Amino acid sequence: MPNTKSAPTHLALCCTAEDFQAAAKAVLPNKSWVYVSSSANSGASLDSNLNDWSLINFRPRIMRSVSALNTKCSILGQTGQYPFFVSAMGTLGNAHPGAEPLLARGATRKGLHTVISTATSKSLEDIMDAHLDEQQRLKNQSPSKLFFQLYVPIDRTKAKSLIQRVKAAGYQSLWVTVDTSTLGKRTADRYLQAQEALDQGVRETTRDPAAENDFGPAFGGRPVPGYLDPGLTWEDLAWISREWNGPVVLKGIQTVEDVRLAVQHGVQGVLLSNHGGRQIHSAPSALMTLLEIRTYYPEAFDKLEIYVDGGLRDGADVLKALCLGATAVGVGRPYYYAMAAYGLEGVERCTDIIAEELEITMKMLGVSSLDQLRPEMVNATRLLNEMWRPEMPRPKL
Binding-site positions for glyoxylate read: 35, 151, 186, 275, 278
Q: How far is CA 148 from the centre of its chain?
A: 12
- The HSE-up count of residue 100 (CA atoms within 13 Å, CB side) is 28
Distances (CA, A) of 34 to 6, 16, 31, 220: 17, 22, 5, 8
Binding residues for FMN: 88-90, 117, 149, 177, 251, 273, 309-313, 332-333
Please measure the distance between the N-terminal and C-terminal CA atoms of the chain and give it in whole angstroms. 68
**Could you say which DSSP state residue 135 is in?**
H
φ and ψ at residue 239, rounded to 5 degrees:
-75, -30
**Could you say which DSSP state residue 42 is in?**
T
φ and ψ at residue 139, rounded to 5 degrees:
60, 35
Q: At what angle do helices 333-365 and 315-323 cross, to 10 degrees?
A: 70
**96, 113, 131, 275: which one is catalytic?**
275
Distances (CA, A) of 311 to 230, 247, 260, 278, 364: 26, 26, 25, 12, 23
Gap between the Cα atoms of 132 and 144, Å rounded: 10
Gap between the Cα atoms of 285 and 34, Å rounded: 22
Question: β-strand 146-150 against 174-177: which pairing, if any?
Answer: parallel
Q: What is the 3-state secondary structure (H, E, C) of 302-351?
A: HCCEEEEECCCCCHHHHHHHHHCCCCEEEECHHHHHHHHHHHHHHHHHHH
113 catalytic, yes or no?
no
- By annotation, the residues acting in catalysis are 275
